[in-house]
Structure 1
Amino acid sequence: MAAKARPLPVVVLADVSGSMGEPQEKIDVLNECIRRMLSDFATADVGRGVIHVGVIAFSQDGAVLHQELVPAAKASWTDMQARGGTPLGAALALADELLRDEATVPPRAFSPTLILVSDGKPTDDWEEALDRLLDSPKGSKATRLAVAIGGPGMTEQAKAVLRRFVSDEASGVFEAQDVSRIQQYFRWVTVTVTQRAQSTRPDRAPVLNPEDLSDFGA
């Protein structure tokens, strides 16, 4: 009997604060990137793994599980709307809760990939929530990626927060100064996660050289 495919969780923590709608193009591109990623994952031939995708949206209402963590082929995407502040702490706490739930992320799952996308400074207490996530069994082993979306709200202090989140200093925080770079980055994520699921060592984390993004069209 063939071995049952193991889940490979991918969780996007999406900043949908008001500044993400200024200009509207930012939130529109982020929605399109996630929709395309879900579609690509759903049709990928991944062999040993099944890619599960969930999206945590955080804004003035706190953090919500906008897309439940399910196999990509079962996801049904609804566009996110931009409004309010940037409660990163609430998003990190929800991500930690999600990863600790063995009914959602079973012990046999491959190490998860967490992708934090933000364009501004957190508006709540986030450090304790981040420490708890990084101290957890799955959170500590996760591939943690961060995208700083360029704009007036993305200060050096805000970027420093994202640097605390990432799991590999070699990859660092990817700075998307224009929306086309967001699209390229998500294409890179899609390709590398799919390659992880196909490989004999799916828990190996990818390292991004920003110069390589030109290979991943928008």
Structure 2
Amino acid sequence: MKNFAIKKARPLPVIILADTSGSMSINGKIDAMNQALKDLIDTLGGENRLHAEIQLSIITFGGDKAVEHLSLKPAHQITDFTPMEAIGRTPMGDAFAMAQALIEDNERIPSRAYRPFIILISDGYPTDSWQSAFDNLCKSERAQKGTRLAMAIGDDADIKMLEDFNNDLEASVFKANDARDIIHFFRVVSMSVTSRSRSVNPNESVEIDFDTPEEDFLDLDFQP
């Protein structure tokens, strides 16, 4: 009898860059994002790992610097999510540099990993020197091959920068006007990630449609 080794699922990284500057405390924006991310973690953590193991990192930028609020780990191993707090300025350049360092770290994201999702959410403009770090991230090999999505919250976001970050020609920058829009964005992201993870080839792109009606999310065990 031959001994058959169990093939380990390849990582599918999901890296979220989340604005936690002081302006996110207004009109319930940070509360909506906390709820949306908690739902995202619950959904991704419940996915089977036959083809891909979804791994999640959340990098926040607020106050004086960016921090890895949730260190990269398999979604099914995340048992607790500490709510984010909104405070201070918008050190987005620091977050771009941190994200680049993460995706280029072959110990944390091995070469066998599937193409990552990198998601940027902001309601304003960077308050630090960001352009160089932004360019370096977007030009890095893994970020170019990955799916980059962006959400602008409110009317004061830097739309041009978010458009430059976004690399999905079929899914333009999503504009959120209220808490429900923020939650809707993350539901579409969840559906896109799980669709890829269930695919025979999780490196293949999936259609991302932010006009997806709410009832379609019931298939992913979302609660309205």
Partner of residue 185, structure 1: 185
After superposition, the C-alpha distances for 1:71-104 in whole angstroms (9 at most, x for unaligned) are 0122231011001111111101000000111111
Within 1, Cα distance between the matches of 2:115 and 2:181? 26
Q: What amino acid is aligned across from residue 205 of structure 2 in structure 1?
A: A
Give the TM-score, by structure 1 length.
0.93
Partner of residue 148, structure 1: 152
In the alignment, does 2:212 pair up with 1:212? Answer: yes
Q: What amino acid is aligned across from residue 210 of structure 2 in structure 1?
A: P
Within 1, Cα distance between the matches of 2:118 and 2:161? 15
CA contact (8 A) 2:192 2:207 kept: no
Within 1, Cα distance between the matches of 2:38 and 2:71? 14
In the alignment, does 2:28 pair up with 1:20? Answer: no
Within 1, Cα distance between the matches of 2:40 and 2:212? 19
Choose 1 or 2 for highest CA Rg. Answer: 2
After superposition, the C-alpha distances for 1:179-212 in whole angstroms (9 at most, x for unaligned) are 1011111111111101101102212233333322
Partner of residue 169, structure 2: 169
Within 1, Cα distance between the matches of 2:32 and 2:182? 8
CA contact (8 A) 2:188 2:209 kept: no
Partner of residue 123, structure 1: 127
- Ranges in structure 1 where 5+ consecutive residues have no aligned partner: none
Within 2, Cα distance between the matches of 1:179 and 1:46? 31
Within 1, Cα distance between the matches of 2:128 and 2:206? 30
Q: What amino acid is aligned across from residue 89 of structure 1 in structure 2?
A: G
Within 2, Cα distance between the matches of 1:129 and 1:19? 23
Within 1, Cα distance between the matches of 2:201 and 2:129? 36
CA contact (8 A) 1:188 1:213 kept: no
* RMSD of aligned residue pairs (Cα, Å): 1.4
For residue 107 of structure 1, give the secondary structure of its aligned residue in structure 2: coil
- Within 5 Å, give how 1:20-59 maps onto structure 2: 20-23=24-27, 25-59=28-62
CA contact (8 A) 2:192 2:208 kept: no
Identity of paired residues, percent? 39
Q: What amino acid is aligned across from residue 123 of structure 1 in structure 2?
A: T
Within 2, Cα distance between the matches of 1:134 and 1:191? 24
- Within 5 Å, give how 1:24-103 maps onto structure 2: 25-75=28-78, 76-103=80-107
Within 2, Cα distance between the matches of 1:147 and 1:30? 11
Within 2, Cα distance between the matches of 1:125 and 1:186? 28
Of residues 13-22 and 41-50 in structure 1, the stretch that sits farther from structure 2 once superposed is 41-50
User: How many residue pairs end up in the alignment?
Assistant: 213
Q: What amino acid is aligned across from residue 165 of structure 1 in structure 2?
A: F
After superposition, the C-alpha distances for 1:111-166 in whole angstroms (9 at most, x for unaligned) are 10011010011111222111111222211111000000114x33xxx111100101
CA contact (8 A) 2:170 2:207 kept: yes
Within 2, Cα distance between the matches of 1:137 and 1:211? 30
CA contact (8 A) 1:16 1:57 kept: yes
Structure 1 runs of 4+ with >3 Å offset: 213-218
In the alignment, does 2:135 pair up with 1:110? Answer: no
Give how far 1:213 is off: 4.3
CA contact (8 A) 1:184 1:213 kept: no
Q: What amino acid is aligned across from residue 92 of structure 2 in structure 1?
A: L
